[in-house]
Amino acid sequence: NVKWPQIEKNEAILAKCRKQYDLVACEPTSEDSFRKVCSSVDCDIISLDLTQRIPFRLNPKQMLAAVERGAVFEISYAKLLLDNCTMRRNVFSNSRSICRALRGKGIIISSGTSKALDLRSPADIVNMATFFDLKLSDGKVRTGSIRLDWFAS
C-alpha cells in the first residue's frame, strides 16, 4: 500500500512495487493526489483512511474514471469492530459516500485485519454492505464471483 502525500516522489516507488507485486494499492491523502491516482496512476486498489473525515470532496466522475481503468475502491471493515464510536461513525459515513459516488460499482470490501478472529463470513459482509447502501442482491453476486486470477502468483 503506497501512501500518496507527494505525487512526484511516489511514482518511482510505484514502479518498483509494480515489478515485485501483482496487486498494488494506493492511499491518496490529499485532493491533488486523489485526482492523480484516479486519473492516471497505474494501481489496482485505491484505499482511503475511512476512520477519519476525508479531507477532500469525493468526485464521482474521477472515481468512475478510475473504475473504468480497472481500479477498485477498498472498504476495510476492521475498524468497525473497535470500540470507538467516532471512528465507527466515520467508517460508515465515508463508506456510504464511496458507494453512492460509485453507484455500487468497483468496490471491494476487505477485512484489513491481521487477526483471524476479526475475519467475518461472506454472509456477515453482505449484511454489512447493506449499511454502506449497497444492494443485498449485488452483495451476494460479488461474494460468489471472486476473481481468482487476481490471486494467482
CB 76 within 8 A of CB 111: yes
Report angle CA 24, 28, 29 to the nearest 5 degrees: 145
pLDDT at 150: 40
Q: Are 43 and 19 in contact (CB under 8 A)?
A: no
Give the separation between CA 107 and CA 80, rounded to whole angstroms.
Answer: 17
102-121, pLDDT tens digit by residue? 988 899 888 888 888 888 88
Grid cell listed for 126: 453482505
Task: Assign 74 to helix, strand or coil.
Answer: strand
In the prediction, which pLDDT does 113 show?
Answer: 84
Determine contact, residues 65/102, Cβ cutoff 8 Å.
no
- Helical axes 60-68 vs 85-102, angle rounded to 10°: 70
pLDDT value of position 142: 55
Query: Looking at residue 144, what is its pLDDT?
Result: 54
pLDDT for the residue numbered 29: 85
- Structure confidence at residue 148 (pLDDT): 39
Ranges of the chain whose pLDDT falls below 70: 1-9, 136-153
HEC-encoded secondary structure of 86-109 = HHHHHHHHHHHHHHHHHCCCCEEE
pTM: 0.83
The pLDDT assigned to 91 comes to 93
